[in-house]
Amino acid sequence: MPGPGVTATLTARRIFDGERWLRDHVIVVDGQRISSVMQRKQLPADTPVTDLGDTTIAPGLIDVQVNGGGGVLLNNQPDRSGLRSIARAHRCAGTTAIMPTVISDTAALVRSAAEAAAAAIADEEAGIIGLHIEGPFFAPARRGTHKADMIRRPDAGDLEWLCQPRPFPLMLTLAPEQLQAGVVRMLSDAGVLVCAGHTDADYERVRQAIDEGVRGFTHLFNAMSPLTSREPGAVGAALEDAATWAGIIADGHHVHPATLALAQRCKARGKLFLVSDAMATVGSAQDSFELYGKRITVRDGCLVNAEGRLAGSAISLLDAVRIAHREAGIELGECLRMASLYPATFLKLEHERGRLQAGYRADLVAFDEHFAATDTWVGGEHLAHPGQP
């Protein structure tokens, strides 16, 4: 297989280019970019072609909510080494770009994670494209497994730091009712991708936050005010609004497959995307890890704390694609868009990610009929298959 910076011509049983299904086509990779996608018969007869056989090639998956992987939880190891382990674990599962996610913690730890992410991005560390800060500005009643004594309102120092210019996407999940008027607008104007989550706000307060610049919703249905007959809540506002995005955890535990299918029909096309909410166990042999000094364990395919409450997920994003397709009945191409093009658009990166087209980054995944990743490319670099060192 050609190494980084070397032209490669790839084909497989079928190719999904982000818009449509292709057969008897090839993808020509030149360095870090795709130079063309064409019918195979258009190639010169002597062109060497890497045929990936009975697989599907699709745009590399983009996960905006990755707490950990490869045995590492970002909150427990907020440094370059931790980021590298997490990114590699997800690359081996088909995710070629991640927003490492640091959850509610001390300001010092969150800033350490941000510094590590900034350094990794500056050095073009494969697969790391930004940072997701989930918390700590939450409604205490909707904190989930986030530690109670970490939950607080932002102060002037927090806001000054968050509003600093950064050359990469910064996503911030917060409860809008915990902020003073004008703060969401200030953050949004500074380029922060503000998402509502872990919120107990009513419909009107969420609508106000959308008007102020909330761009999306974090793990739709989970840890937010629900949709009821008389009060639409955050869920109703998220489903109704056509301008905002929403991430959803498709692990079969956080959201019932029928609820996922319903959300996909209700939300404006292109505005619902899949996330893994993956924790440290993903891509490792571990079946448990520590969060805030307490043991989190894999049980019946999901992660729970000692009280039996959900604590993140044990899936990769390609697992989410499989579940959305096979259990929720969503067409496979749409599932792949929900894991690539749509999150790319949310992150304002759709000009170079989420499609297999000339000029786009050569970020690709090939997977088999069981939705196991067989090959991945990040910026044209072919990476080790799952199970290989």
Assign residue 309 the CATH number of its domain: 3.20.20.140
| Contact by Cβ (8 Å): 15, 56 | yes
Residue 385 pLDDT > 80: no
Q: Residue 80's domain spans which residues?
A: 61-347
Mean per-residue pLDDT, 248-269: 98
**H or E stretch covering 83:** helix 80-91
Q: Does one domain contain both 39 and 176?
A: no
Q: Is 1 inside any structural domain?
A: no
Decide if 257 contacts 248 (C-beta within 8 A): no
pLDDT digits (tens, 9 = 90+) for 320-359: 999 999 999 999 999 999 999 999 999 999 999 999 999 9
| Judgement on whether residues 23 and 93 belong to the same structural domain of the protein | no
**Mean pLDDT to the nearest integer, 206-212:** 98
Strand 21-22 to strand 14-16: parallel, antiparallel, or no bridges (unpaired)?
A: antiparallel
Domain assignment present for 222: yes
Whether residues 47 and 65 share a domain: the answer is no
**In a shared domain, residues 231 and 84:** yes
pLDDT digits (tens, 9 = 90+) for 215-241: 999 999 999 999 999 999 999 999 999
pLDDT of 67? 98
Cα 388 to Cα 190, 281, 375, 377, 384, distances in angstroms:
42, 18, 11, 15, 6
Q: Is residue 262 in a domain?
A: yes
pLDDT number for residue 11:
98
Distance (Å, whole) CA 20 – CA 18:
6
d(CA 213, CA 42): 47
Q: 102 and 181 share a domain? A: yes
User: 145: annotated binding-site residue?
Assistant: yes
Q: For residues 251 and 212, state if they share a domain.
A: yes
Active site positions, annotated:
277
The answer on whether 56 is annotated among ligand-binding residues is no
Please check whether residue 118 lies inside any domain of the structure: yes
CA distance 199 to 340: 26
Average pLDDT over residues 192-219: 99
User: Residues 323, 210: one domain?
Assistant: yes
Residue 310, marked binder: yes
Whether residue 66 sits in one domain with residue 37: no
Phi, psi for 249 (deg, rounded to 5): -90, 110
Cα dist. 332→82, 149, 257, 323, 366 in Å? 32, 42, 15, 10, 14
HSE on the CB side for 302, CA within 13 Å? Answer: 15
- Please tell me whether 134 is known to bind a ligand: yes
- pLDDT value, residue 386: 53
Mean pLDDT of 183-198: 98
Q: Is 198 annotated as a binding residue?
A: yes
Number of domains in the chain: 2
Asked whether residue 132 is assigned to any structural domain, the reply reads yes
**Rounded-to-integer distance, Cα 307 and Cα 142, Å:** 16
* Residues 342, 370 within the same domain: no
Q: Are residues 43 and 96 in the same domain?
A: no
293 and 170 in one domain? yes
Are residue 362 and residue 314 in the same domain, yes or no? no
Residue 2 located in a structural domain: no
Residue 309 lies in a domain: yes
Statement: the pTM of the whole predicted model exceeds 0.95: yes
Question: What are the CA-CA distances from residue 225 to residues 198, 205, 307 (Å)?
Answer: 8, 11, 22
Q: Is the dihedral of CA 352, 355, 358, 364 positive or negative?
A: positive
- The candidate with the shortest Cα–Cα distance to 359, out of 88, 37, 106, 43, is 37
Identify whether 176 is part of a domain: yes
Query: At 7, is the pLDDT very low, low, confident or very high (cuts 50, 70, 90)?
Result: confident
Average pLDDT, the chain: 95
Q: How far is CA 14 from the centre of its chain?
A: 24
**Per-residue pLDDT averaged across 179-205, rounded?**
98
Does the pLDDT at position 387 exceed 80?
Answer: no
* Over residues 126-130, mean pLDDT: 94
- The verdict on whether residue 254 carries a ligand-binding annotation is yes
pLDDT in tens, 40-67: 999 998 899 999 999 999 999 999 999 9
